[in-house]
Amino acid sequence: MSAWRAAGLNYINFSNIAARLLRRALKPEFRAEAAKRDESHIRITKWADGKPIRQESSA
C-alpha cells in the first residue's frame, strides 16, 4: 500500500501537498514564478442520462 494512502490521503491531496512543499523549498528568485502555478480552478459538473445537468449559481 502506498504511504499516502496509508495516511488517509487520495492521490490529488498527496500531490498538492508535495507541490506546495516543493514551491516553498525553491530559491526566492524562482519561488515567485512557481507561486503563479499554485492556483487552480476546477468546475464539477453532474451528469444524468449521458447529459450534463445545469446547475443554477448560488450567488
DSSP letter (8 states) at residue 8: T
Provide the number of structural domains found in the chain: 1
Residue 17: give the domain boundaries.
Answer: 3-52
**Does residue 14 belong to any structural domain of this protein?**
yes
**CB-based contact 13:7 (threshold 8 Å):** no
Name the phi and psi angles at 48, rounded to 5: -145, 135
What does the pLDDT read at residue 34?
83
**Does residue 10 belong to any structural domain of this protein?**
yes
- Tell me, yes or no, if the pTM score tops 0.85: no
DSSP codes joined into one string, 12-58: HHHHHHHHHHHHHHS-HHHHHHHHHTS--------EETTEEPPPPP-
Digit-by-digit pLDDT tens for the chain (59 residues) are 688 788 888 888 888 889 889 988 999 888 888 877 777 667 778 888 998 888 766 55
- What CATH number should be reported for the domain holding residue 16? 1.10.1620.20
**Does residue 58 belong to any structural domain of this protein?**
no
**Does residue 57 belong to any structural domain of this protein?**
no
